Structure 1
């Protein structure tokens, strides 16, 4: 606000006042107003207000303490008020900046601008412009879109509340299951403790009984000896000496025995695991299904044994051996990894550090495997059907076999249903091998159904159609839900799905791992490429325990992508 000068200055002065005195302004002077008359609708400086008050004693005069009310009394509508200088009227347009201005804006910000127009001069021409004429309709359209998105967001808010209640129930259920498991562990540990206490008690009581019995007998034999009864003293003497020898032997045995003790050796992994948790989310995995992952860290391992064939090599345009190597991956509940090595016709068991600890030879081994339950997995063997492999300790063994009237290529499992691909079709079977139905068929190429995957909820099947460079998503009735074609999907070879529906695809010829949306309609992000050292990825697995992607690639290589 400009300072209050006792002397008037002419209107041509550069001084800009919030409100100029109306009478002074009429006389060509530029004095700052300190009062506003509600009746006159005029502003007055200190000098002029005295004359006004003498002439109009009944008028309501507002001082600077009520300046917030001046605008309303001055007849300014909210649309006319300058956003930067709240008590000034918008009167001008700076065409250089296409910005509405008040007098203070022009003085402070637009003094050097070339084109300043008076707003009333622009009104007539504006009404004839096409944009102005179309504006009401355009506003209506944009308002309709805003209302639509408002409804969607409102619906989303309500659905989130419902989801939140369900998640809270899941969290409570998880807590109850954890409590129940801890109660079970405590009960079993208590049972073991009680058994050991009873066993130790019986053991010690047996020694006590032996000592007590000998003490009693020695005392009974000693009495006739001390009383010197001639008839019994000799007999008592003989029996007493025999029991003395027996007591000596017993004492030697008992002194050699250590005292019984019980020690509780707690498993440090339990407390370490629990102390490493910040929330139950680590156990329950609360995720946004549209969450976009990033690769936090990459590492590489070699799953090779001494008896394996030499790695593949490409010389010129000739491929010496089949570059396909690790074609199937799955993880066991204990963190061990199972892989299928196509070139060496082996199933390999890896520890949590991705080192080979056991192998099992399977002639005619094809290209896929899936986890069934516990430590059991299933592997496809072409026309030799499916073999079920169980891990016991650190050893692999085939526990049962199923044969089918078609070639067995891809395989997936969900809730007791076995889905087997014949390279052109997908069939649903029971776990005993009984056909339920043919789910899907595509005869448009040699291999149209590769290493497909059933979603964790069992409602969707993702098919990497390598020959067509597409990801096909179907339901379990065979209806095509979506077809995704993207430059990154060159020969898509395998798909994996997280518990919360995040979908990951590896593509062999583009040397890329991508994340796509749950519906299989859009690529969300590219996670790793050939620039990152990825070549010919053939198999992929999402580790629910460690939030890592395990990718089988060319040769004997495994890429491990730690996600965040």
Structure 2
């Protein structure tokens, strides 16, 4: 019977089925089975099962809703423990060289040269006490909730697109009343263009929703399998854990790609002077479709109160051949596509890194680049202080086809250290004050000021909702927390908080601080009152850190300071 269980390939066809109809297979056909007979211990398709039922009226026939009983009736491998490449075989081994679960066939075919093959019962010992395994249901629940939320957003987006279409068509028809019969052809052409764009957008939404449904169901099924096997021993739990980890990784990658597009949209702009120029026009106006991108990735697998732990550290060289001095990284930010932009203070450079943290481009600035922040799309803003002529500028740089291109510069009358962007405003720190500016460089207000020291307002960060602002007070070893009106909510101190420079708030509400003198990276609670964890010290590779950024894409903290390398802290 094991041969029936294994996938087979139809002659002249490349479809592969886990269960093949027995009578069809006897006739040389490859038909997917939908039923299983306990007494016959054979599989049947929808066409063959009526014949079977007529001949054997008292036999018990199971459909695909009882597939777990199919395997049990034949003494086959449980679905959770089944090798996906060789369905008739059970997963019994782990290849350490490739970090893969294996059956005996896998080892014989693909892992004969591997030196680290372990028996799953040996590796699975203590799995119930593993912190990652214990957190698995919560992580899956959070991920499924995020999938469901995004699916609902896409559903609402679809309804919004239809309303947008109705609005635009109404505008088209209002224009139509003012002109003659020639508009009939123009109206038809314009509406056809609109319908094509809406159809394209809705198709994208439909594909997204189908992916969400599939991810949601797969995660639910595998976690249900794991929880149902809690009493069946550690190996099944370990296998389920490893499979679930892989599904989570796949889901994160898909969500990361999809979450960049917050909303599909279409706009309409009518032609000016349409009545006078009607004879030369082919459509009523210009239709523009747009995808609204989020400033940072929206997906976070960690609840807001999650306390992070480190899984490992890795350093990446960011020094390039044209650098004349040791690197001194004072600003880090990430683009929607996963690229990273850093500022190198000592070498007067802005550097672009790919997703593997390799320097792929750079541009020079006049002098002393401090912080950098993402301001939308592929554009960043860099703080530049030119001490020679007391010129202080914010350089807006766009990343186009892997190149850094300065598009505009805003001049300021004061020095600045940090920059953050929220809504339509820029928040600029000037060592002793925090200012709010418009995107055109017009000062809105002074939000906070402290002239009791030289460096009381350096690094800054803003919560995702814009209601909370965090300030690194370098002079007095403090983290200051304000509301968006400038009222002080908290002042935090700690032995590990010595000369704080960089502060970062994630979209999910986690707060991180790096401290120059103590060579530390800390996690602080969202209220800015308590240290939750010290995630890295000098012995881990941190040296005089001045900037940091949390990447939701890779679940890691990127830290820069007075070194030729970036330290990437993998967290969980």
Q: Structure 2-normalised TM-score?
A: 0.50
1:349 matched to 2:352: yes
Deviations 1:328-362 (A, max 9, x none): 00001111110000000000001111111111000
Deviations 1:45-98 (A, max 9, x none): xxxxxxxxxxxxxxxxxxxxxxxxxxxxxxxxxxxxxxxxxxxxxxxxxxxxxx
**8 Å CA contact retained: 2:143, 2:301:** no
Q: Which aligned pairs between 1:6-21 and structure 2 lie closer than 5 A?
A: none
What is the distance in 2 between the residues matched to 1:278 and 1:455?
A: 23
Match of residue 521 from structure 2: 513
Q: Which aligned pairs between 1:120-269 and structure 2 lie closer than 5 A?
A: 170-176=149-155, 187=200
What is the distance in 2 between the residues matched to 1:369 and 1:448?
A: 19
In the TM superposition, residue 289 of structure 1 has moved relative to its aligned partner by 1.4
Aligned mate of 1:366, from 363, 366, 369:
369
Q: Which aligned pairs between 1:446-525 and structure 2 lie closer than 5 A?
A: 446-525=454-533
Number of residue pairs the alignment of both structures matches: 310
Aligned mate of 1:423, from 419, 431, 435:
431
1:381 matched to 2:384: yes
In the TM superposition, residue 555 of structure 1 has moved relative to its aligned partner by 2.0
Deviations 1:103-153 (A, max 9, x none): xxxxxxxxxxxxxxxxxxxxxxxxxxxxxxxxxxxxxxxxxxxxxxxxxxx
What is the distance in 1 between the residues matched to 2:247 and 2:400?
A: 24
Cα 1:187–1:166 change in 2 (3 A) is closer
Cα 1:506–1:274 change in 2 (3 A) is closer
Structure 1 SS opposite 2:152: helix
Cα 1:186–1:347 change in 2 (3 A) is farther
Aligned mate of 2:542, from 534, 558, 563:
534
Q: Structure 1-normalised TM-score?
A: 0.51
What is the distance in 2 between the residues matched to 1:164 and 1:295?
A: 21
Match of residue 294 from structure 1: 309
In the TM superposition, residue 511 of structure 1 has moved relative to its aligned partner by 0.7
In the TM superposition, residue 177 of structure 1 has moved relative to its aligned partner by 7.6
What is the distance in 2 between the residues matched to 1:274 and 1:530?
A: 32
What is the distance in 1 between the residues matched to 2:311 and 2:197?
A: 38
Structure 2 SS opposite 1:367: strand
In the TM superposition, residue 530 of structure 1 has moved relative to its aligned partner by 1.3
Cα 1:305–1:168 change in 2 (3 A) is closer
Structure 1 gap segments, 5+ residues each: 1-162, 192-271, 312-323
**8 Å CA contact retained: 2:349, 2:369:** no
In the TM superposition, residue 366 of structure 1 has moved relative to its aligned partner by 3.1
After superposing the two structures, state which structure 1 stretch, 288-297 or 336-345, moved more.
Answer: 288-297
Q: CA RMSD in A?
A: 3.3
Cα 1:425–1:171 change in 2 (3 A) is same
Structure 1 SS opposite 2:482: strand
Structure 2 SS opposite 1:277: helix
Cα 1:545–1:166 change in 2 (3 A) is closer
**8 Å CA contact retained: 1:171, 1:280:** no
Match of residue 235 from structure 1: none
Match of residue 309 from structure 1: 324
Match of residue 54 from structure 2: none
Deviations 1:183-230 (A, max 9, x none): 979827999xxxxxxxxxxxxxxxxxxxxxxxxxxxxxxxxxxxxxxx
Deviations 1:365-411 (A, max 9, x none): 33111110110000111232211000001110110111122222211
What is the distance in 2 between the residues matched to 1:453 and 1:552?
A: 16
Structure with higher strand content:
2
Q: Which aligned pairs between 1:323-342 and structure 2 lie closer than 5 A?
A: 325-342=328-345
In the TM superposition, residue 274 of structure 1 has moved relative to its aligned partner by 10
Cα 1:296–1:441 change in 2 (3 A) is same
In the TM superposition, residue 180 of structure 1 has moved relative to its aligned partner by 9.6
